[in-house]
Amino acid sequence: MKRTLYILMIVSTFVAFTSCKPEEEPEPDPIRNSLYWKIDGTTCDATPILADCGIANPYSINVFDNHIYITTDGGYSSNGDVFCFNMSGTRQWKAEAGMLPSKVEPYENAGTGNMAYVLNEGMWGNNDASLSKVNRAQGNISNKVFSNANHRSLGDVAQDIVAYGSKAYVAVTFSNSVEVINTGNDLSTRIDVSSSAKNPRRIAAHGGKIYVTCYDPCSVVRIDTATLTVEAVCRLGGYHPEGIAVAGGKLVVASSHISDEHSNYTYDDKVYIVDIASFEVQNTITVGTNPVVVKALDANKVVVGYVGDYGQKPAGTAIVDVTDGSVRQLDKALYNFDIYEGSIYGYESIY
């Protein structure tokens, strides 16, 4: 018995030691590379932009007022930055914002000058969503303006901000909030949407109303900006809605993906067209697998970014004409983009 044991041990020790070898030189980590493009909304010609901006980890892109604003992710464990470039790609300024700055939203208000809010999304479960305020000309930033003004937090994961009239509307996903912020003094009124639908995601504003996509159940919630109450809810059906935009008198809503009862994802490939007047789903248009971003290109067209299923089905970008349902695929798969003066400014996903 003992002898067998010793022999076994010696043999397995020999096997273990002889099969060990010096560690192979590690392959370099894949470098996260980004390519920024400007795509003409009519000709669909793509031109590279921001070639030497040096930003490998963009988290969002916004274009307005003749400037391009890029935010960075800060490695998910430190604050991100906001970079401002002019249209020829020259860096104007850089400012440290909060955790995961995900949108730069300009607003106009008497006496405040050229300002923009920077929405910092925050990490799930950390309640560290926050709002920064930046002077668009110089890049002077003040962080935590929401909690400083309101003496409370914005909440857990702020997904979208839209400035509309004298207010800015923020969807806070896991706090089930739509915060209505007075842009003059940053004071906010919280609307709890949980009785209509939970997990608000993205916002579109149109005709005195705010439209908010929500995950649970998958729907669009309509909020009246005068009364600040939820007026109506439009149920979409199966998949988690993400981006929302207005074109051709309709709401265009991206329907992304959803988990089944055992964490297996199924992917949608459609945008839902919701009639604004009746507030009901009118039809759907097939675009590509897993649509997430929707932005209005002009009065009748939207640009839809879809991210694929991370496997067989690819990511892509398409222009959808809401009036006739036509879809034009672009040859760049933009992971995130913004629209400015009829052109699409975005960056690719290299997946």
Binders of another protein in range 168-187 (CB under 8 A): 172, 174-177
Q: Under rule CB under 8 A, which residues in 74-113 are in contact with another protein?
A: 74-79, 96, 98-99
Instruction: Decide whether 107 or 174 has the Cβ nearer to another protein.
Output: 174
CA distances from 159 to 100, 120, 212, 231 (A): 10, 8, 11, 22
Distance CA 223, CA 165 (A): 14
Exactly one of 44, 87, 166, 198 binds another protein (CB under 8 A); which one? Answer: 198
Look-up of token digits 């921001």: 50
Instruction: Decide whether 322 or 333 has the Cβ nearer to another protein.
Output: 333
Q: Does 278 bind another protein (CB under 8 A)?
A: no
CB 344 within 8 A of CB 312: no
- What tokens appear for 324 in the block? 């006739």
- Residue 242: partners with Cβ closer than 8 Å, 6 or more residues away: 201, 202, 213, 253, 254, 255, 256, 291, 292, 293, 294
Minimum gap (Å) between residue 52 Cβ and another protein: 17
Q: Under rule CB under 8 A, which residues in 214-253 are in contact with another protein?
A: 215-216, 238, 240
Tell me how crowded residue 205 is: count the other CB atoms within 10 A of its CB.
Answer: 18
Q: Under rule CB under 8 A, which residues in 10-29 are in contact with another protein?
A: 10, 12-13, 15-17, 19-21, 23, 26-27, 29
Minimum gap (Å) between residue 36 Cβ and another protein: 14
Exactly one of 55, 61, 67, 73 binds another protein (CB under 8 A); which one? Answer: 73
Q: Does 127 bind another protein (CB under 8 A)?
A: yes
- Per CB under 8 A, which region of 61-69, 205-213, 255-263, 280-288 contacts another protein? 255-263
**Host H or E run for residue 6:** helix 2-19
